[in-house]
Amino acid sequence: MDIPYTVTARPDTGVFNAKLGVWLFLASEVMLFGGLFAGYVFLRIGAPAWPGALHGETYAHASEVLNVPLATLNTFVLIASSVTMVMAWASLMMKNFARYRLYMGGTIALAFVFLIVKVFEYGSKFEHGLFPSESNFLAIYFTLTGLHALHVIGGIIVNTYFWGPGAKMWRTDPKRFTNRIEVAGLYWHFVDLVWIFLFPTIYLL
Amino acid sequence: MDEHTTASAEDIRKHVRVYLIVFAALATLTVVTVAVSYVHLPILPALVVGLLIATIKGGLVAAYFMHLVSEKKVIFGVLIITAVFLVGMFILTLSSFHDQEGIMTFTP
């Protein structure tokens, strides 16, 4: 099946269809994360202390429970992956496929680094008996960061496809492939953007 | 035509320079965010400062990496509608505190 308007911008919207589609999808994602953020704010305002009591001890700051240096490292990792993603698209625009492969490979590798750091972070929490069921604070921490991590995994799957088998399109329809990388990039930058708000609100406040 | 699909290689080289500047700005602002958190400000100023820096960082990502600086009206239309619904959702959630006054007790 041939889907129309995959390359050329539509005269009525001014953008190619895939871009509008991804932006609409990202709008729904804003509402998904927004609902969870609203729940977080609601519970936090009503809580007498935050993070509060855990295993008989009371904590006044999230940084006493969560690992801020690891989260800071992950922030740098995600920002760097956003740069490599946009550079991958720019490489295609400059007709340099080898450079595209390099930058897209870098994006995927950085996404894996993010997940590995996350595994260590979660592992350390579980070792100390800190599970989502322990408190509202931990429930929110695991829900928001877990949902974000699922988005990272989704991004890895999509980007790996475009790095590997999906890249065949570069030979047959380079413009369409470039557009695909642009919209995949929009999703990936959104994942970075969510983390930019998650990091200070969950870890630092 | 979509501006990004018609840009010349020279235009893209200029974009690349901007991307690297934005990367440096994002890294710097991340360091500032963490540094401010160690000051342990009271919750309200800490929230304002934290969200302000996050908004600047998010704005840079959206404007330059997601190309919103040169995007078409239809995309802004989608974003404005989303923002309205998002604010509405926050107002609805937080306004329910008025219903709960005196009876709401949370355990952390």
Q: Which DSSP state fits A202? A: I
* Confidence (pLDDT) at B101: 64
Rounded to an integer, the average pLDDT of B49-60 is: 95
pLDDT (mean) for B28-56: 91
Q: Decide if pLDDT at B99 tops 80.
A: no
- Model confidence at B9: pLDDT above 90: no
In contact, A156 and A112? CB cutoff 8 Å: yes
pTM for the structure as a whole:
0.92
The whole-number pLDDT of residue A134 equals: 93
Of B61, B66, B89, the CB nearest to A38: B89
**Considering only CB atoms, which chain B residues are within 8 Å of A42?**
93-94, 96-97
**Is the minimum CB–CB distance between A1 and chain B shorter than 8 Å?**
no
ipTM rounded to 2 decimals: 0.92
Asked whether the predicted pLDDT for residue A3 surpasses 80, the reply is no
Report the pLDDT value the prediction gives residue B8, as an integer from 0 to 100: 75
What proportion of chain A, given as a percentage, has pLDDT over 90? 84
Of B2, B19, B30, the CB nearest to A9: B2
Q: Which residues contact B78 (CB under 8 A, 6 or more apart)?
A: A20, A23, A24, A27
Per-residue exposure over A82-116, b if at least 16 CB sit within 10 Å of its own CB, e if not: bbbbbbbbbbbbbeeeeebbebbbbbbebbebbbe
Half-sphere exposure of residue A182: CA atoms within 13 angstroms, side-chain side: 28
Tokens found for residue A136: 């509202």
B65/A85 CB distance under 8 A: yes
| Average pLDDT estimate for B25-39 | 94
- Whether a cis peptide bond, with omega within 30° of 0, leads into A165 is no
Q: Is the pLDDT of residue A167 over 80?
A: yes
Query: Inter-chain contact B23–A79, Cβ cutoff 8 Å?
Result: yes
Q: What would the two tokens of residue B9 be?
A: 């290689």
List A58's β-bridge partners, or say none. Answer: A53
The answer to whether the beta carbons of residues A150 and A183 sit under 8 Å apart is no
- Higher-confidence residue: A9 or A129? A129
Measured in angstroms, the CA of B89 and the nearest CA of chain A are apart by: 7
Give the confidence band of B1 by pLDDT, cuts at 50, 70, 90.
very low
Query: What is the arithmetic mean of pLDDT over A122-145?
Result: 96
Task: Flag whether pLDDT at B63 surpasses 80.
Answer: yes
Q: Tell me whether residues A13 and B82 touch, CB distance under 8 A.
A: no
pLDDT digits (tens, 9 = 90+) for A52-96: 999 889 999 999 999 999 999 999 999 999 999 999 999 999 999
Q: What phi and psi, each to the nearest 5 degrees, are found at residue A59? A: -110, 135
* B86: its two tokens: 């998002």
- State percent of chain A over pLDDT 70: 97
Contacts of B66 in chain A (CB under 8 A): 185-186, 189-190
Overall average pLDDT of the B49-54 stretch: 94
What confidence score (pLDDT) does residue A162 get?
A: 98
B60 touches chain A (CB under 8 A): no
Q: How confident is the model at residue A2 (pLDDT cuts 50, 70, 90)?
A: low
Q: For A19-23, A76-80, A90-94, B102-106, which range has the lowest pLDDT when averaged over its residues?
A: B102-106
Residue A13's pLDDT is what? 87
With CA atoms as reference, report the closest residue to A88 among A72, A109, A73, A74: A109
User: Does A8 score more than 90 pLDDT?
Assistant: no
Q: Find the CB nearest B108 among A76, A135, A175.
A: A135
Q: Which of residues 25-44 of B touch A (CB under 8 A)?
A: 26-27, 30, 33-34, 36-37, 40, 43
- For the cut 80, the answer to whether the pLDDT of residue B107 exceeds it is no
Residue A84 Cα, gap to closest chain B Cα (Å): 10
Q: What is the pLDDT of residue B44?
A: 83
The overall average pLDDT reported for chain A is 94
For testing contact with chain A, the best of B39, B66, B87, B107 (most A CBs within 10 A): B66
CA distance B39 to chain A (A): 11
**Residues in a beta bridge with A57:** A54
> Is it the case that residue B81 has pLDDT exceeding 90?
yes
